[in-house]
Structures are given as C-alpha cells and as structure tokens.
Amino acid sequence: MCGIVGIWGPIGNKERLLAESCRRIRHRGPDSNGFWEDPEAEVALGHVRLAILDLTEAGHQPMTSACGRYVMVFNGEVYNHMDIRKQLEQSALAPTWRGHSDTETLLAGFTALGIEATLQAAVGMFAIALWDRASRKLMLARDRMGEKPLYYGYSGAELVFASELKGLMPIPGFGRDLNRNALASYMRHNYIPAPQSIYQGINKLPPGTWIEFTADDTRSRRMPEPRVYWSAREAADAAARAPLSFGTDAEAAEALEGVLSKAVGGQMLSDVSLGAFLSGGIDSSTIVALMQAQSAKPVRTFAIGFHEKGYDEAQHAKAVATHLGTDHTELYVTADDALAVVPSLADMYDEPFADSSQIPTSLVTKMARQHVTVALSGDGGDELFGGYSRYFRVNNWWQQCERVPAMLRKPAGALLSASAQLPGRGAWRGKVGKLGELLRTDSRGDFYRHFVSYWPEPSQVVKGGLEPVSEFARDMQGSTFEAMMKLDTVTYLPDDILVKVDRAAMAVSLETRVPLIDHRVYEFAWSLPHQYKVRGNTGKWLLRQVLHRHVPQALVDRPKRGFAVPLAAWLRGPLREWADALLDPARLRQEGWFEPEPILRKWREHTSGHRNWDSHLWGVLMMQAWLDRYRAAPDQGGTIGSR
C-alpha cells in the first residue's frame, strides 16, 4: 500500500512541493519515498511506500518501464500479477524482470498489452498514474470497486492528483473555494459521492474508470471524460442474464465457497504479517474461516468490544475465533477511548465524512497495526447478498405505499409528518416522520433515496447549494430488492464503506483488503438466482450456508447490529459541550454555509430527548470540525473562502 501524488504544469520547485506532499501522506507509506521529474515536459511524480510485496529496492517507485517509455506511481495490490507475468512470458512479451513487484508487472502489461487490456486483466485494488514519455500523456486509473482513492483536477495552471486531498495542500492556490453543491450532497448522504469532492475543481475518479490527459488538455484546463473499463452495473446485469442453476443447495454452497476461497487465497499474498478483522458477524466470520482453512498456522484476528449494553459484539467474535482456532486479540474500549478519536477525524478523512462507525473502525485498525501490516475485512457482503435490513423494510414499505391511491399519498404524507412533530417523546416519531416523507415521493428510486437520506431537502440547509443529479436519478430496473443492492454497490459501498476503512487503516499505515468485492465474486453473486441470496426474511442465505460448513450455526445466526456506537447518548452527554461550540448560532450565521434554524431545531429536539437526530447532527458536526481543521490553515496553499 502506498500514496501517490503528481503535478503537470509550469509551476517551479516541484521537487520541494512534492516532498512536502509526500510528507503529508507519509502515513500511507512510511517505508520509503521517491520522486521523478521530466523538467522539459513539466511533469513530476511523487510516491510514499508501504512495502508489502518485494521489499527490496526493485519495488521502489516511481518506477520506469524496461523499455524506458513509461513512468508510474501505483497505490494498491494486484493479486494475480504473477499470472499476468506468466502470460506475458508465454507470449514472448515479458521484459527481463528486475524484481517480483506487481508495479513492475503492470508496467510490462501496459507496454505489451496497452492500458485497457492490462486494467481488465488485473485482479486487485489500485490507483495508478502512468506518464507516457513518448506521447506526453498522463493516464490515471482506479480499481473496479473503488477500494483505493484518487483525487485529480486543476489548481491554477497545474493538473494535480493525489491519493488524499492533504497531499495537494502544499500546492500554491489549492483549496481556496469549497464546493457548495458537494456539501448539499453530503448533507443528504453524510458522505460526498464521486465524482465530487469538497473542493471546487477537484474530482474523485469513479471506480472502474481511467482518464487520459494530453498537453492540449492541460493548457486549456479541459477535463476529459473518464473511460469505463469495468462497470458494476453492467457486470451485474450481464451476470443476471446468464443465471446459474444447481441441482441442490449444497452444490450452490460448494460453488460459492470455491469462488470465494480463491479470492481469499489470492488476497493472503504478502511478504509481511497478515491478519483479519473479526466482528463475529456473517461476513467477517466467513472470510476468517476461509483464511484459516488455507493457513498452516493460526490466523491473527482482531475485535473491538464496548462496555455499553447493546453495542458489544466482541463476545461473539471471541466465540468464532475459539472455534476456528485463530490467534485472537480483543480490546475493550471505554467511552473515553472512543471519544478521544473524535478530534482526529477531520484530519483522517480529509473532507467531511460522517459515518459514525468511523470511530470504532479507527480503533480496531490502530489495534491491528500493532501486530500486522495487512488485514482482510468482511465488507461488501450486504450489497452482494442482500444483507441490509433496510432492503426488507423498503421493499415492504414501497408495496404498502403503492396501495395508497396516488392522489392521497402526498396529503397522507403531510399528515404523518405533522403528527411526528406533536409534543411528547417516543421512538415512533422517527418512523412516522420517515413514512410521511416517503409517501410524498413519486418513484421507487426517489423512495429509496429519501429512505437513506439524512436531510431530505439539502438545498434548504446548505446556503447556495444545489444538489447535482446522482445515481439515484436513474430508473430502478428489475426487482426493488436487487435494484437497491445494485445502487448501494455504486454509491454507498465505494463512497462510504470503503472510504471509512481505507482512511482509518492508512492513517496507521495498515493495508486492508476486501475479498468479498473481488470482481469475480461479485459477478458470481449476480449470476445467482435471488433465492440464493434471500429466503423469506433472511438475507445472505447462501453466504450463511458456506459459513455453516465451518462454524456452527448457533454461533453466528443472530440479528445484525453493524459497527455502531451509542452516538445519541454521547451527544446528550460527554460530547454535548463539544457539539454546542460547533453549533453555536452566531458561528453558523457568520460562516454562511448552513441555514442555522433547521439545524438548531434538531439540536434542541435531540438534547431534550424529544427526537433522536444523532446521524443528522453528526453530519453537521463533522463538517464544522472539518472547517476548524482547514479554515485559514497556515500550512495550506489557499484560504477557504465563504463564496
């Protein structure tokens, strides 16, 4: 795992600027750093390295291809790179190898096969910048599912890119203007969806795409459209058109275990210490079980426990670890331990990000890094196999809403929303208010968008913010259940789940890997008829059958909790003073980003116990904390304006 950064443009002192950029993202690669520049072409590349494969100098970056044409910086892992090497050798297209790094393999592939063919051949997670010295073109690429981040855009006359936004901060003029439209999207989702970023003019490269810049592009500050080499939507649709069939359920479970075991085995490739996160749930338990089945020694596993009742899953993780015989480490943390993380979140996530499970995620990654350099996680199972409880609720609620005559829906919705505001307390208010909101929608896509929204009308909260058209505007094709799974795969998974894990892990120089979203597992999952994913009210049905071959059903079958923290109580208790300061009415009005009254009303209702608005408020608080970190920062290239 590594961090990459680069500049293309007339600015001077590139080596000094990128040295500072590399210092800012050194947590992504503390083992070494490198710099390469072509002064005539006005291009410079920087790299920080966390050595995982080929720990020698033969794996050092920036790396030049054997033919001398290409120079590359690369963040990630290509798990099948030795297979690619064999294919190149068999076709007499391989160079004389200098080492055994996947970086060298990719360069050989780009030289012999071309960009798109090499990207399609690679199985892994990555962000790549490739400079073509012959054609003077810069190519940027990102892995299929979006595990590794890549930001790019223009700062002044320069085209810039980096693994994290903080890597761009040393560049003069960077970060002067915030993107109010991105802030509006953030208020809906508590994350900023690709291709937006919090900064004007800086984009996130979407998963499964690559983009090529020419000298003419950079002179005119033109932003070419990314090219798609793999699409999660199209891959799902293609797989569903050729469904698999099995004689028995046992055959289906055997087939899934074979595909998933191959992915897990490939991701266990490492020249350094390796382990896994274990919550005791279906997904992480399955990954650990398949790791242990392929390991000659106990797998290192890690779990975080909370003392608060209803939030602790460490006991379940320990039971699974004991059964599988892993080398298990657990850490019970107090509220003070968890709350101590909060001040570091704005710096860790680089732009506003408000999934509160970022707190336990940062704790478990920090603990794991004390023992291993690489950790596998169980993320992705819910999107692939229908595991989120909201899928069942939305499916049922939409069917009920369809029974209400169209002319009555909006009046009925308004009545329910008003009833939720009546004096008194009760958890029912949240459900009634949400149902009232949903009744006023016109389509399945709009219904689901409102269901997963925090602030349903962001433009009423963000001053001057106009929410861009998003993936939720697409017509939902096929069954409601599978349409939601597909939509989450291209939105929530890359922009929330994978961001949460990548930033928390890389902050402590820990590489994370996610076998369940190996694209071969993904395509296999979408070729399964729905009955193998969901039976009755049970999601992840076939994944459970695979797990039950290794772990007794009684140890793992229980209601899904997620990686939650008692945020509502914390905001009324130990975080109250911190939140009060960030939500000070005078500050909100002076800054000019938010309409204060909707926010302050929710804060009053929350602190009084009238309603629970913890997730809505967490989004505002994380934005305010981010502003504290970045506003007029002396170490930043530009000063954030209030335009």
324/562: higher pLDDT: 324
The average confidence (pLDDT) of the chain is: 92
pLDDT recorded at residue 612: 92
Instruction: Place 634 in a pLDDT band, splitting at 50, 70 and 90.
Output: very low
Instruction: Place 96 in a pLDDT band, splitting at 50, 70 and 90.
Output: very high
Model confidence at 413: pLDDT above 90 = no
Q: Which residues contact 11 (CB under 8 A, 6 or more apart)?
A: 17, 156, 157, 158, 171, 172
pLDDT recorded at residue 185: 97
H or E, element range at 36: strand 32-38
Whether the CA torsion 212, 85, 75, 207 is positive or negative: it is positive
Beta carbons of 349 and 499 less than 8 angstroms apart = yes
Q: What is the mean pLDDT of residues 547-572?
A: 87
Residue found under tokens 């902050």: 507
Q: Tell me, letter by letter, the H, E, C secondary structure of 523-539.
A: HHHHCCCHHHCCECCEC
pLDDT recorded at residue 176: 81
pLDDT recorded at residue 430: 59
Residue found under tokens 């890094």: 369
Instruction: Place 385 in a pLDDT band, splitting at 50, 70 and 90.
Output: very high
Q: Are strands 137-142 and 209-213 parallel, antiparallel or unpaired?
A: antiparallel
Q: What is the mean pLDDT of residues 418-447?
A: 68
pLDDT in tens, 436-468: 777 777 788 889 998 999 999 999 999 999 999
Q: Give me Rg for the CA atoms of the chain.
A: 24
pLDDT recorded at residue 55: 67
Q: Which residues contact 135 (CB under 8 A, 6 or more apart)?
A: none
pLDDT in tens, 198-249: 999 999 999 999 999 999 999 999 999 999 999 999 999 999 999 999 999 9
User: Is residue 584 exposed (0-12), middle (13-18) or buried (19+ Cβ within 10 Å)?
Assistant: middle
Q: What is the mean pLDDT of residues 288-297?
A: 97
Cα distance between residue 253 and residue 542, in whole Å: 6
Beta carbons of 334 and 308 less than 8 angstroms apart = no
Q: What is the mean pLDDT of residues 98-127?
A: 97
Model confidence at 492: pLDDT above 70 = yes
Q: pTM of whole model > 0.75? A: yes
Q: In what order do the strands lie in the sheet with 43-49?
A: 32-38, 43-49, 2-8, 158-162, 151-155, 202-204
Closest CA to 4 of 152, 104, 123: 152
Q: Which residues contact 597 (CB under 8 A, 6 or more apart)?
A: none
